[in-house]
């Protein structure tokens, strides 16, 4: 069994859903040494999440943003935690919905995703900072 671990910093993204598959794969070349294994990704933040979704048509990412804003609206009177702006508490809730970590099978040194799947960074703050990820890859 092999085990690799690495921390990387993503470039800043504006609020919305963004494809970061190539960025992650490009930064973690150790993964290629794994014949059969798992890639695990944690985002070390509570106002941005990770998801797997459609990797081709940008309208999917656009509609995802629109709907998450309906499902978790800003400026509702019942939020107490809004010190950092109207996007503060909604960002925490959206993160709880999509989740903070992913795990994806590795087969012959490559991510074994479906044809249409990509890794999304879900940036829920109006002014996103650089997001830190912990990448772990393990297997035979």
Q: Give the Cβ contact number of residue 81 at 10 Å.
A: 10
CA atoms of 131 and 121, how far apart (whole Å): 9
CB of 76 to a second copy, least distance (A): 8
Binding test (CB under 8 A) with a second copy, winner from 23, 51, 74, 126: 51
Q: Which of residues 65-84 bind a second copy (CB under 8 A)?
A: 66-68, 70-72, 78-81
Q: Which of residues 99-118 bind a second copy (CB under 8 A)?
A: 99-105, 107, 112-117
Q: Which residues contact 44 (CB under 8 A, 6 or more apart)?
A: 131, 132, 133, 134
8 A C-beta contact, residue 118 and residue 21: yes
8 A C-beta contact, residue 106 and residue 139: yes
- Does residue 25 bind a second copy (CB under 8 A)? no
Of 30 and 126, which CB lies nearer to a second copy in the complex structure?
Answer: 30
Q: Which of residues 120-139 bind a second copy (CB under 8 A)?
A: 120, 132, 134, 136, 138-139
Question: What's the distance, Cα to Cα, between the start and end of the chain in Å?
Answer: 5
8 A C-beta contact, residue 24 and residue 120: no
- Does residue 16 bind a second copy (CB under 8 A)? no
Site of interaction with a second copy (CB under 8 A)? 1, 3, 5, 36-38, 40, 42-46, 51-54, 57, 59-60, 62-64, 66-68, 70-72, 78-81, 89, 92-93, 95-105, 107, 112-117, 120, 132, 134, 136, 138-140
């Amino acid at each position: 069994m092999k085990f690799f671990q690495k921390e990387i910093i993503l470039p800043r993204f504006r609020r919305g859903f963004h494809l970061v598959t190539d960025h992650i794969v490009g930064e973690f070349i150790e993964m290629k040494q794994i014949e059969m294994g798992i890639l695990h990704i944690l985002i070390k933040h509570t106002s941005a999440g990770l998801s797997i979704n459609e990797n081709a048509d940008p309208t999917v990412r656009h509609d995802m943003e629109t709907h998450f804003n309906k499902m978790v609206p800003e400026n509702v009177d019942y939020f107490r935690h809004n010190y950092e702006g109207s996007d503060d508490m909604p960002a925490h809730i959206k993160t709880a919905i999509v989740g903070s970590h992913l795990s994806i099978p590795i087969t012959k040194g490559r991510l074994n995703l479906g044809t249409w799947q990509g890794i999304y960074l879900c940036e829920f703050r109006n002014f996103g900072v650089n997001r830190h990820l912990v990448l772990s890859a393990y297997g035979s």
